[in-house]
Every structure is written in C-alpha cells, then in structure tokens.
Amino acid sequence: MATQGTASPQSVGSDTAEYDPRTDPKRKAKSSDPGWKYGFWPEIGNRDLVECSLCGGRVNSGIKRLKEHLVGGYGDAVKCPKTTTAIAAEMEASLVKGRRKRALNLDDDDDGVQVVEVVPTENQVQNNANASSPSSGTSVVQHPSSGTASKKKQSALKFASLPPRPKEKKIVITMLRKKPEEVVEERHFKNGPAQSSVEGRIRTKEERDEVNMHVANFFYECGIPFNAINSRSFEIMCEAIGQYGPGYKPPSFHEVRVPWLGKAVEQTNKLKEKHEAAWKQYGCTLMSDGWTDKRGLLPR
C-alpha cells in the first residue's frame, strides 16, 4: 500500500510519457521568429542544432537553416517531406524579410551619436562670468542618434554598391522580361512558378520528359551529386538558357577555365566589398574551398 505523498510507478511513467520536447518552452528561443513554431532544440545547450517538429529531421546553423528546410530549394538544406504550401510561403517570406533587414544594417561612417550644440541664455552667461572658473559660454552635448540618417546612408550605400548596367541595345521583350534571378526568387517565394509563358502552355508532357532525360543523363555521365539539382544556381542557369531560346551555344572548356572564372572572381570581390562596410561593427570570417589541379597546385 503506497503511503501518502509517494508517487506510484504508474504515475511517474504517465508523466514521462506526456512530456513532449516539441512544446517545451525551454527548447525554443524567446523570439517572434515564425520558424520556432515548427522547430525546437533537441539538445538543451546546443542552440546550433534545431529539430523539425514535422518530420523529425535535424539541421545545423540555427533557425534560418530550419526555415530553408521547410521551404526547400536551398542547396544547404533538404526539403521537409511534410511541409505544406502555406508553411513554405510563410517561411520564405520570413527569409526575404531577414535578408532585407540585414541589407539595411550595413555600417557606415555614422557612429550612432548625434551632436547638439547648446547655446546658453543671458543668465547662464552672467553666472559663468561671475564664477571663479572660466567658461567658453557654449557646450556640446551628445545624444544617441535616432538612426534615421544612418539608415538613409546605409540604403544609399546598398544601391551604390550595385554594378552599373552596361548600355546596350535590347529588344522590347528583353526589357520587359524579368531576370533569371528574379524569376527563381519569385518561384521560391510563392512556392511555384510566378507565371507560365505561352510556349510553356503549349508544350506537351512528352516534350518536357525528353528535356528532363537530357538533364538527368548529364548528371549521370559527369558523376554530379544529385543534390546539386536543388541549388539556386542550377535553377537560374536553366531559366537563363530558357530565356535565351533555341540555338544557345554553351561556353567552351577554355572559356569556363579562364575568362569566365576571372569574371566569377570579380563578382565575388564585388559581393565582398558590399559587406566590408559591416566588418567594423560585426566582424566577418570568409571561408572558401581551395581549388587545386591534378598536381595539387592552386590555379594562377
């Protein structure tokens, strides 16, 4: 017979069975980020590891990577098999909002302090004159800046860092058509194609299957990992080729190895320059893979 105040084994087991780590507030950040509705920390103390409440999959790099996992299409995260269209749209909107907020937080010369010059009244000047210690009659007071001027400068810095578009003759359809990067961005934001072209509507399933077979054979023949097809760069490449139209001639081995590699390095340097303004406040660590040839030497 159990004494009063002592829990029976059955009651202890039932309390343990009712515990759900997905609803434990200690396993979630105190944040309004919508990603925490679908994730939690499986290991308390390790905030880098987040587990998906829908499929049970675990991702590193925090809540941002979990939202990419729920949206799908990101090269660093596998799409959640149990996500829905509504969840994917909500997470994509949060990711886009986060990118815009980080772009506006670029640091500049404004140190966040507003300097105000205070001119004293006649009585204050008279009192200073009668005082034993001399005074200049004018003082400077520093107040924390509201940040409005800083944000305007940061926004101007963001757009000024974009490379100017070369002036060239373009046909009307090219001027009205969105860039491949914009098309892919809208596709992921709306979890589907933004709009279908007239040519896409008249294409049959057999025609698309034939193109898909060529794409798959390219992966098989070159031994490319299958997860490369989830990368944004692959989607942008396919969209760019589709916008170019029939007759596209791909670059040669020499062009990819020399001139286009140099242009890719220039683009990376320009992208780096856009973030260097924030190093003063936040700091930055750049990591990249080392490219070597068959002899183990770095390319010149």
pLDDT at residue 226 greater than cutoff 60: yes
In a domain, residue 277? The reply is no
% the chain with pLDDT above 90: 21
In a domain, residue 84? The reply is yes
Among candidate residues 52, 69, 104, the one where a domain is terminated: 104
Count Cβ atoms below 10 Å from residue 166 Cβ, excluding itself. 5
In a domain, residue 61? The reply is yes
Six-digit token pair at 31? Answer: 């944040």
pLDDT digits (tens, 9 = 90+) for 136-188: 444 444 444 445 555 555 555 555 555 555 555 555 555 667 888 888 888 77
Q: Which structural domain range is residue 207 located in?
A: 173-252
Mean pLDDT of 198-225: 86
In a domain, residue 266? The reply is no
Is 0.75 topped by the overall pTM? no
Estimate the crossing angle of helix 180-189 against helix 85-104, to 10 degrees.
130
How far is Cα 259 from Cα 141, in angstroms, rounded to an integer? 56
pLDDT at residue 20 greater than cutoff 80: yes
Tell me, what's the pLDDT at 214? 94
Least confident range of 94-98, 152-156, 188-192: 152-156
Mean pLDDT of 276-280: 80
pLDDT band at 213 (very low <50, low <70, confident <90, very high): very high
49, amino acid identity: L
Tell me, what's the pLDDT at 5? 45
Phi, psi of 258 (to 5 degrees): -115, -75
Mean pLDDT of 191-216: 74
In a domain, residue 1? The reply is no
Mean pLDDT of the chain: 74
Helix (H, G, I), strand (E, B) or coil at 58: strand
pLDDT band at 285 (very low <50, low <70, confident <90, very high): confident
In a domain, residue 115? The reply is no
Alpha carbon separation from 204 to 23, 195, 198, 211, 248 (Å, rounded): 47, 17, 12, 11, 22
In a domain, residue 143? The reply is no
Phi, psi of 278 (to 5 degrees): -90, -5
Tell me, what's the pLDDT at 190? 62
pLDDT at residue 135 greater than cutoff 50: no
Tell me, what's the pLDDT at 141? 43
In a domain, residue 73? The reply is yes
User: What is the count of structural domains for the chain?
Assistant: 2
Least confident range of 44-53, 138-147, 195-204, 240-249: 138-147
**Widest Cα–Cα separation across the chain:** 98
Alpha carbon separation from 288 to 99, 148, 275, 291, 299 (Å, rounded): 21, 36, 16, 9, 14
Nearest residue to 92 via CA among 267, 232, 226, 271 = 232
